[in-house]
Structure 1
Amino acid sequence: MTLELGTIPFKLNLSGFPQLHLYEGSIPHYRANPRPWNTPAAKPSLGFISNFVNNEDEISYFSSLDDPSVITRFVVDSFGLFQQLKWNDGDHQWKEVWSTPRLCDNYGKCGAYGICIVNSTNRFTCTCLPGNEPKSLRDGSEGCVRKKLGLSMCGNEEGFVKVAHLKTPDIFDAAWMDMSMSSLECEQACLRNCSCTAFINYNPNGKGFSCLSFYGELIDILEFTDDGWDLNVRVDATELAKYTRKS
């Protein structure tokens, strides 16, 4: 599915796990937070009812207005701001319902292995996932790199640190999904593969767990206040011990 907004395509990318991307040419400009597997029709949000299906027979995303009398449109301005506008009869003009990207919504804002956080002053900061440190000495705005602790993360008692309320890393080709795998099975499968950098275990609709594991760089992550996914990040034994002591 591709929606052309001027010269900028907004499409459902089927590489890896299905995701909605807004592109500037061939470069991702914004990525919507992936929906859970086989999600039933969601409650109206910003005037929309949406439904996402991803199974062996079908991959589809459907969205409709909960009030057919509402007149709305989507536009992308010259700065790449994607907006939903609603017609206001009283003022006889279009009003913005929502827009993106803002602050942390820009694709890969904090680089590889970085988390973008919007603070109380409506500014953003970049921090690093567990087991990583800023690429520059200043902060994590240029991305993060693995800490050099001298230990391999392959068969050396490494483990996972859970980071809650995140937008998932970009789920491109370097991701693998199993829709019938428990949390322990998902963790063990990731541990057995030295290229696996993180995993997410999710129970859609209470009908059994699904496993999504990542390979390679983790990019385009932001922190939500109380929503989002729990990302289990692979760390070496030394780093894991630090988090174990904290708990």
Structure 2
Amino acid sequence: MEGFTMLIIYFFIFSYITITTTLSLDTITLGQSIKDGETVVSAGQVFELGFFSPGKSRGRYLGIWYKKDGEKTVVWVANRNTPISDSSGFLSINAQGSLVLRMNSTNDIVWSSNASTTLLNPVAVLLESGNLVVKDGNDNNPDKFLWQSFDYPCDTLLSGMKLGKNLVTGLDWSLSSWKSIDDPAPGDFTLKIDPHGSPQVLFVRKGTEILYRAGSWNGLRFTGNPHQQEPNSVYTYNFVSNEKEVFYMFDIRNRSVPSRLTVTPYGDLQRFTWIDRTHAWARYSTSMTDQCDKYALCGSNASCNINKSPAVCECLEGFTPKSPGEWEILDWTEGCVRKPPLPCNHSDGFLKHEAVKLPDTSHSWVDNNISLAKCEKLCLNNCSCTAYANSDVREGGTGCLLWFSDLLDIRELAANGQDLYVRVAASEIDNIDPMTQPIARRGQLSEKKWVIIIVTCAISALGLLVLGCIIFMRKRKRRIQGKL
């Protein structure tokens, strides 16, 4: 009897050790579940999956966080809108390959990944990247994952995640803030790509209102983010735009130095980097650095220059404030309008604005295979075209980007800005003193103006030459007469 009792004890001890060991691994298999209080950890101990309560909330959520972060910085939440009121939650995987979160007390489904394909050996694995994936057994081909948490971001963009849109399936890879630090439900602020026109990323919105725009991609960086440098010691980044998908992605250089991009409940877009020495997150960058980062602060056809604070807004050359009275009291909402209307013929010209954040490209057109010279001709031949620029600044500049509406959200930059050519009437170009313009803009003067300048200079030079000859001859004549 004593031997049988010891056998039972050993059996329970072995079962407990087996269960504990299994749940400390990175995989959930068919017939297995994790309960509130248990966790799954990625193979390299970077990420952890389990139940948590944010801030002062008593609700229980299933989420993923950094394991070595004592503050449990959560990067993904399954049941954002449906907290569990007690600790009876458990997660399992079924034969159809769906992850299912239930409450043990009622057996009600709280959340599901909603997969519908039967797999031979469905497993859920928490990868080192923080991606929770459902796959068939040992098939590690990412293209064959049945489901992955990276396709359903919350408020955080991790290394290897896509921010953008799948143009084939319609899958939207966008971020949405938490409602508050106590509530992970989707809040008011979103971060996404607008695929219209020339794709532009890092659009921060509050509802439908645009708060911040990073600008269009120019081959090296986003035109409104001049401090984005490649390479840097923390991460690399990439932007892809083709007929199938449009997305931005970054990759960290060193797994021991995690980096993340987060939309806060207050609408800020911030990048954080982990500092092992302090065992804490350091803010690496933020989207709204000054007043000029506010979307379309100066209205249409105007640019923002933070160095001219408080009057940071100025109409583009050839434009004037639409509401001069409001403009004088620093209300730039109405923006600027053209001084004279465009005649829409080949007498129109372009003024070059150097080192700027390019305007909103939502209503633009792009062709990456033509030269800047051809781009200018295309714009000139279309009465609706208002400006043009290179779409790619690499190798001296290639491609063509055309605008067909008012120009919004331009700002002057101290470095890494781009050249923008704005269409104006020929009379406006003629009225601009070339010596007051940057050297690069002097080439934009009309042919008529150049002819006048050249002829005037030639006549003046000839007149001075004739006058000099007359004076010389007179003096010579006087010297000869004096000798006689």
TM > 0.5? yes
Q: Which residue of 1 is the match for residue 212 of structure 2?
A: 30
Task: Give matches, 1:75-94, under 5 Å.
Answer: 75-94=262-281
SS state of the match for residue 180, structure 1? coil
Output the CA distance in 2 between the equivalents of 1:179 and 1:70: 36
* C-alpha contact 1:180 1:208 (8 A) present in aligned 2: no
Letter in 2 for 1:112: S
The unaligned stretches of length 5 or more in structure 2 are 1-163, 165-173, 179-186, 222-228, 436-441, 443-484
1:78, distance to aligned residue in structure 2 (A)? 4.3
Give the aligned partner of residue 339 of structure 2.
148
Query: Which residue number in structure 2 is paired with residue 61 of structure 1?
Result: 248
The correspondence for 1:160, drawn from 350, 362, 385, is: 350
Aligned-residue offset at 1:143: 4.4
Higher normalized contact order (CA 8 Å, seq sep 6+, divided by chain length): 1
CA deviation string 1:149-189 (max 9, x = no partner): 3x5330161100000111111110x2111122222211111
Q: Which amino acid aligns with 2:287?
A: T
Give the distance between the partners of 1:207 and 1:60, measured in 2 at CA: 25
| CA deviation string 1:63-97 (max 9, x = no partner) | 11122211333333444221112333433433211
SS in 1 for 2:390: strand
Q: Deviations over 1:37-75 (max 9, x none)?
A: 488xx7234722111233456644221112221133333
1:97-112 matches, within 5 Å, as 97-102=284-289, 103-112=291-300
Structure 2 partner of 1:18: 199
* Residues 1:185 and 2:367 are matched in the alignment: no
Higher strand share: 1
- Per the alignment, do residues 202 and 9 of structure 1 end up closer, same or farther by CA in structure 2, a change over 3 Å counting? closer
Q: Which runs of 4+ in 1 moved over 6 A?
A: none
Instruction: Give the Cα separation in 2 of the matches to 1:203 and 1:99.
Output: 25
Q: Which amino acid aligns with 1:4?
A: S
Q: In 2, are the aligned partners of 1:29 and 1:107 still within 8 Å (CA)?
A: yes
Whether the 8 Å CA contact 2:257–2:273 is kept in 1: the answer is yes
**2:307 is matched by which residue type in structure 1?**
N
Residue type at the aligned position of 1:13: D
Secondary structure of 1:239's counterpart equals: helix
- The change in CA–CA distance for 1:209 and 1:56 in structure 2 (over 3 A counts) is farther
User: Shift of the alpha carbon at 1:124?
Assistant: 6.7
Note if 1:44 corresponds to 2:231.
yes
Which residue number in structure 1 is paired with residue 102 of structure 2? Answer: none
The one-letter amino acid of 2:359's match is: P
The answer as to 2:322 corresponding to 1:135 is yes
- For 2:381 and 2:238, how far apart are their aligned partners in 1? 35
* Count of residue pairs the alignment pairs up: 242
Q: TM-score, normalised by structure 1?
A: 0.86
Richer in helix (by share)? 2
Q: Which runs of 5+ in 1 are unaligned?
A: none
CA deviation after TM superposition for structure 1 residue 244, in Å: 6.3
Q: State the shift of 1:131 in Å.
A: 1.1
Query: Are the equivalent residues in 1 in contact too, given 2:388–2:400 (CA < 8 A)?
Result: yes
TM (norm. structure 2) is 0.46
Q: Deviation at 1:11?
A: 1.2
2:302 maps to 114
Change (3 A) 1:68 1:230: same
CA distance in 2, matches of 1:65, 1:227: 23
Cα separation, 1, equivalents of 2:398 and 2:302: 27
The Cα of 1:111 is off from its aligned counterpart by 1.1
Q: Give identity over the alignment, percent.
A: 32
- What amino acid does structure 1 have at the position aligned with 2:353? V
The change in CA–CA distance for 1:143 and 1:229 in structure 2 (over 3 A counts) is: farther
CA contact (8 A) 1:46 1:97 kept: no
